[in-house]
Amino acid sequence: DSGVTQTPKHLITATGQRVTLRCSPRSGDLSVYWYQQSLDQGLQFLIQYYNGEERAKGNILERFSAQQFPDLHSELNLSSLELGDSALYFCASSVVGTGEQYFGPGTRLTVT
Amino acid sequence: KNQVEQSPQSLIILEGKNCTLQCNYTVSPFSNLRWYKQDTGRGPVSLTIMTFSENTKSNGRYTATLDADTKQSSLHITASQLSDSASYICVVSASGGSYIPTFGRGTSLIVHP
């Protein structure tokens, strides 16, 4: 158990819908990262937050957005969903200065 | 452009045998290199992390090496077990503060009894 929690574990929704994925980092970790992993693909970095502020952006679509709240939990919002958005979405948290990231169990999103 | 290439893409070995996975990178300036193990459908778990000055690091039956001059790393698994069946991902971070990593596509290892 990495100490990072993600909810829900599974999500099935229809095209055009909007969903919110939630992540709680390890206690004391200020940084949160979001990744997308499509079937048989590598992990793709989406976005990083540090202590409530956006720190870095990767290949995140304009239909996707995220935020980190004062209690350090983070949410990833996916809107106007398309079939190609079906994937595993991972959240990771880290201690500043080490680069070591701890991954959550992931949310499996299926868009039908 | 920062890139991480892993080989082989997939590997099948018999239980008890050793194997070596390769990682070549072009990330610059280099900060650290990590190997992760990812079981199917689960989050990656860190095996080793190495900085520029380290060229070998072990974690049980896993030994990672780093050659910063040639920008190559390897992960050696000794006396493989069925539970080693997983994807092994090489991740390289550049220095600069945000530690945004570059991920390899992974090597899928299957250990047969």
Q: Please classify residue B28 by burial: count the beta carbons closer than 10 Å to its beta carbon, then call 0-12 exposed, 13-18 middle and 19+ buried.
A: exposed
Size of interface A-B (CB pairs under 8 A): 54
For chain A, say whether B44 makes contact (Cβ under 8 Å).
yes
Q: Residue B75 forms beta bridges with which residues?
A: B21, B64
Distances (CA, A) of A106 to A37, B5, B39: 10, 24, 12
Which amino acid, one-letter code, is at B83? S
Q: Decide: A94 and A100 in contact? Cβ < 8 Å.
A: yes
Low-confidence ranges of chain A (pLDDT < 70): 96-99
Predicted pLDDT at B41: 86
Find chain B residues with C-beta within 8 A of A50's C-beta: 98
Predicted pLDDT at A110: 97
Q: Do A2 and B49 touch (CB under 8 A)?
A: no
Q: Do A42 and B106 touch (CB under 8 A)?
A: yes
Q: Do B100 and A108 touch (CB under 8 A)?
A: no
Rounded Cα–Cα distance for residues A23 and A95 (Å): 16
The token duo for A47 is 């976005």
Q: Which tens digit of pLDDT belongs to each residue from B23-70? A: 999 988 888 899 999 998 899 999 999 988 899 999 999 999 999 999
Q: Which tens digit of pLDDT belongs to each residue from B70-103? A: 999 999 999 999 999 999 999 998 876 556 788 8
Question: Smallest Cα–Cα separation from A10: which of A112, A111, A109?
Answer: A109
